[in-house]
Structure 1
Amino acid sequence: MTETVARSLSADGSGLPDDVIIGAEGISIAIYGEEAGQRETNVRRIYHALAKGDLPHFKLGGRVHARRSTIMAWIEKQERAA
């Protein structure tokens, strides 16, 4: 007897749930929005936070990934602490 597991796919069919953000640029857009004039600065902010270990993330194949839900929970925690 085999068991079928249903998995939710992202809109592009890549197999990754919509909750997973790929790359520092994607994380910066999730946190700061899509302001084109600030994109490079925001990506540097993300790399700085990653290097300090401040931002929750994980790596797959050498690329940084984060879960949108984890990032939002982390932001809420930061707001409560302030």
Structure 2
Amino acid sequence: MQAANDNVIEGDLLMGANAIARFLGVTPRQVYRLTYGELVPHFKLGGTVAARKSTLSKWMAEQEAAA
């Protein structure tokens, strides 16, 4: 039996610069620049850059509010 929380994170993970780029509307090269510069929330799974849609959405809302 699945817990109620399982549906919250289902489909939330973005694996790789291409997936993150599509979500943010930027190029994969820009994703690498943003991650290497520690400008966007991310983490590594193995050697692959990864991020959560929910975390990126929250981060974008914070950036917009601060602008």
Calculate the TM-score normalised by the size of structure 2.
0.84
Bigger radius of gyration among the two: 1
User: Partners of 1:18 and 1:63 in 2: how far apart?
Assistant: 17
After TM superposition, give the deviation of residue 62 of structure 1 in Å: 0.8
SS of 2:27's partner is helix
Q: Give aligned-pair identity as a percent.
A: 36
SS of 1:56's partner is coil
* Displacement over 6 Å in runs of 4+: none
SS of 1:65's partner is strand
Residue matched to 2:62: 77
1:23-65 alpha-carbon deviations (Å, 9 max, x no partner): 0110000110xxxxxxxx7111110000100110111111111
Calculate the TM-score normalised by the size of structure 1.
0.70
Residue matched to 2:10: 17
User: Structure 1: 5+ residue runs without aligned partners?
Assistant: 10-15, 33-40
Tell me: higher relative CO, structure 1 or 2? Use CA pairs within 8 A at least 6 residues apart.
Answer: 2
Pairs aligned (count): 64
Match among 21, 26, 29 for residue 44 of structure 1 = 29
Residue matched to 2:51: 66
User: Partners of 1:54 and 1:18 in 2: how far apart?
Assistant: 23
| CA RMSD, Structure 1 to Structure 2 (Å) | 2.0
